[in-house]
Chain A
Amino acid sequence: MQLSLMLIMPAVGALIAWILPDNRRRPLVLPVFAVIHLLLLGWVLVDTPPPSPHGWFLLDPIGKLVLSSFSILFAACAWYSVNYLRYREERSNRILCSALLLCLSAMCLVSISQNLGVLWVALETTSILMAPLVYFNHNARSLEATWKYFLICSVGIAVALLGIFFLAYSTIVARQDATLLLSSLIDDAPRLNPQWRHTAFIFLLVGFGSKMGLAPMHTWKPDAYGEAPGIVGALLAGGLVNCAFLSLMRVYQIAVATQEAATFQNALIVMGLLSMAFAAVFMARQNDFKRMLAYSSVEHVGILTLALGLGKGALFGALFHMVNNCLTKGVLFLSAGNIHRAFGSKNTATVRGAIRWVPWSGALFLTGFLAITGSPPFAPFVSEFTIVSSAFTTGNYWAGSLFLVFLAVIFIGMALTVLPVVLGAPPELEAGAARPPRDGLVAIMPLLLLMGIMLILGIWLPPPLRELLMAGARLLGGGQ
Chain B
Amino acid sequence: MDSLADQLLVLSLLINFIVLGTSRLGFAVRAVAIQGVVLGLLPALIHPFSWHIVLIVILMICAKGVLIPWLITNAIRKAEIKREVEPFIGYIPTLVLGAICTALAFVFAKRLPMAAEHQGLLFVPASIATLMTGFLVLTTRRKAISQVIGYLLMENGIFIFGLLLAGAMPVMVEAGAVLDLLVAIFVMGIIMNHISREFSSLDTSRLTMLKEE
User: Is residue A143 within 8 Å, beta carbon to beta carbon, of the partner chain?
Assistant: yes
Taking a contact as CB atoms under 8 Å apart, the answer to whether A117 and B170 are in contact is yes
Taking a contact as CB atoms under 8 Å apart, the answer to whether A144 and B111 are in contact is no
User: Is residue A169 within 8 Å, beta carbon to beta carbon, of the partner chain?
Assistant: yes
User: Is residue A82 within 8 Å, beta carbon to beta carbon, of the partner chain?
Assistant: no
- In the bound complex, residues from chain A placing their C-beta under 8 Å from that of B115 are 169, 172-173
Within B168-187, the residues touching A (CB, 8 Å) are 168-170, 172-174, 176-177, 180-181, 183-184, 187
Taking a contact as CB atoms under 8 Å apart, the answer to whether A131 and B191 are in contact is yes
User: Is residue A375 within 8 Å, beta carbon to beta carbon, of the partner chain?
Assistant: no
User: Is residue B6 within 8 Å, beta carbon to beta carbon, of the partner chain?
Assistant: no
Taking a contact as CB atoms under 8 Å apart, the answer to whether A141 and B151 are in contact is no
- In the bound complex, residues from chain A placing their C-beta under 8 Å from that of B147 are 151
Closest chain A residue, CB of each to CB of B183: A128
Q: How many residues of A contact B (CB 8 A)?
A: 45
| Residues 79-97 of chain B, each 1 if its beta carbon lies under 8 Å from chain A, else 0 | 0000000000000000000
CB within 8 A of A195: which of B112, B138, B173, B207? B112
CA distance A287 to B209 in the complex (A): 15
CA distance A333 to B147 in the complex (A): 31
Report how many A-B pairs have Cβ atoms within 8 Å. 123
Question: Known: A158-B154, A168-B168. Contact between A121 and B210, CB under 8 A?
Answer: no
- In the bound complex, residues from chain A placing their C-beta under 8 Å from that of B157 are 162
Interface pick from A36-44, A221-229, A236-244: A221-229
CB within 8 A of A178: which of B165, B174, B208? B165
Taking a contact as CB atoms under 8 Å apart, the answer to whether B209 and A121 are in contact is no
User: Is residue A357 within 8 Å, beta carbon to beta carbon, of the partner chain?
Assistant: no
Taking a contact as CB atoms under 8 Å apart, the answer to whether B198 and A155 are in contact is no
CA distance A128 to B191 in the complex (A): 12
Taking a contact as CB atoms under 8 Å apart, the answer to whether A143 and B194 are in contact is yes
CB within 8 A of A124: which of B151, B154, B169, B180? B180
User: How near does chain B come to A176, taking the closest CB pair, in angstroms?
Assistant: 11
- In the bound complex, residues from chain B placing their C-beta under 8 Å from that of A150 are 184, 187-188, 191
Taking a contact as CB atoms under 8 Å apart, the answer to whether B212 and A282 are in contact is yes
Taking a contact as CB atoms under 8 Å apart, the answer to whether B210 and A145 are in contact is yes
User: How near does chain B come to A235, taking the closest CB pair, in angstroms?
Assistant: 18
| Residues 173-186 of chain A, each 1 if its beta carbon lies under 8 Å from chain B, else 0 | 10000101000000
Q: How many residues of B contact A (CB 8 A)?
A: 46
CA distance A145 to B135 in the complex (A): 20
CA distance A144 to B202 in the complex (A): 12
CA distance A136 to B56 in the complex (A): 35
Taking a contact as CB atoms under 8 Å apart, the answer to whether B187 and A118 are in contact is no
User: Is residue A57 within 8 Å, beta carbon to beta carbon, of the partner chain?
Assistant: no
Taking a contact as CB atoms under 8 Å apart, the answer to whether B177 and A161 are in contact is yes
Taking a contact as CB atoms under 8 Å apart, the answer to whether A144 and B176 are in contact is no
User: How near does chain A come to B9, taking the closest CB pair, in angstroms?
Assistant: 17
User: How near does chain A come to B134, taking the closest CB pair, in angstroms?
Assistant: 9
- In the bound complex, residues from chain A placing their C-beta under 8 Å from that of B149 are none
- In the bound complex, residues from chain A placing their C-beta under 8 Å from that of B194 are 135, 143
User: Is residue B164 within 8 Å, beta carbon to beta carbon, of the partner chain?
Assistant: yes
- In the bound complex, residues from chain A placing their C-beta under 8 Å from that of B180 are 121, 124-125, 128
- In the bound complex, residues from chain B placing their C-beta under 8 Å from that of A162 are 127, 131, 157-158, 161
Taking a contact as CB atoms under 8 Å apart, the answer to whether A161 and B158 are in contact is yes
User: Is residue A147 within 8 Å, beta carbon to beta carbon, of the partner chain?
Assistant: yes
CA distance A132 to B113 in the complex (A): 43
CB within 8 A of B191: which of A146, A158, A226? A146
Taking a contact as CB atoms under 8 Å apart, the answer to whether A117 and B173 are in contact is yes
Taking a contact as CB atoms under 8 Å apart, the answer to whether B191 and A165 are in contact is no
User: Is residue A105 within 8 Å, beta carbon to beta carbon, of the partner chain?
Assistant: no
Taking a contact as CB atoms under 8 Å apart, the answer to whether A169 and B191 are in contact is no
Taking a contact as CB atoms under 8 Å apart, the answer to whether B169 and A178 are in contact is yes
**Which of the listed residues A121, A158, A168, A195 has the most CB atoms from chain B within 10 Å of its own CB?**
A158
User: Is residue B73 within 8 Å, beta carbon to beta carbon, of the partner chain?
Assistant: no
- In the bound complex, residues from chain A placing their C-beta under 8 Å from that of B191 are 131, 135, 143, 146-147, 150
- In the bound complex, residues from chain B placing their C-beta under 8 Å from that of A145 are 210
CA distance A143 to B161 in the complex (A): 33
Closest chain A residue, CB of each to CB of B167: A178
User: How near does chain B come to A113, taking the closest CB pair, in angstroms?
Assistant: 10
User: Is residue B204 within 8 Å, beta carbon to beta carbon, of the partner chain?
Assistant: yes
**Which of the listed residues A148, A172, A199, A227 has the most CB atoms from chain B within 10 Å of its own CB?**
A172
Q: Closest 5 CB pairs between A and B?
A: A117-B173, A178-B168, A121-B176, A144-B207, A124-B180
* Partner-A contacts on B (CB < 8 A): 111-115, 127, 131, 135, 138, 144, 147, 151, 154-155, 157-158, 161-162, 164-165, 168-170, 172-174, 176-177, 180-181, 183-184, 187-188, 191, 194-195, 198-199, 204, 207-210, 212-213
Report 26 cross-chain contacts, Cβ distance below 8 Å, ordered by A residue: A118-B176, A121-B176, A121-B180, A124-B181, A125-B180, A128-B180, A128-B184, A143-B195, A144-B208, A144-B209, A150-B188, A150-B191, A151-B138, A155-B138, A155-B154, A158-B155, A162-B131, A162-B157, A162-B158, A165-B158, A165-B165, A172-B168, A178-B165, A180-B170, A193-B113, A195-B113
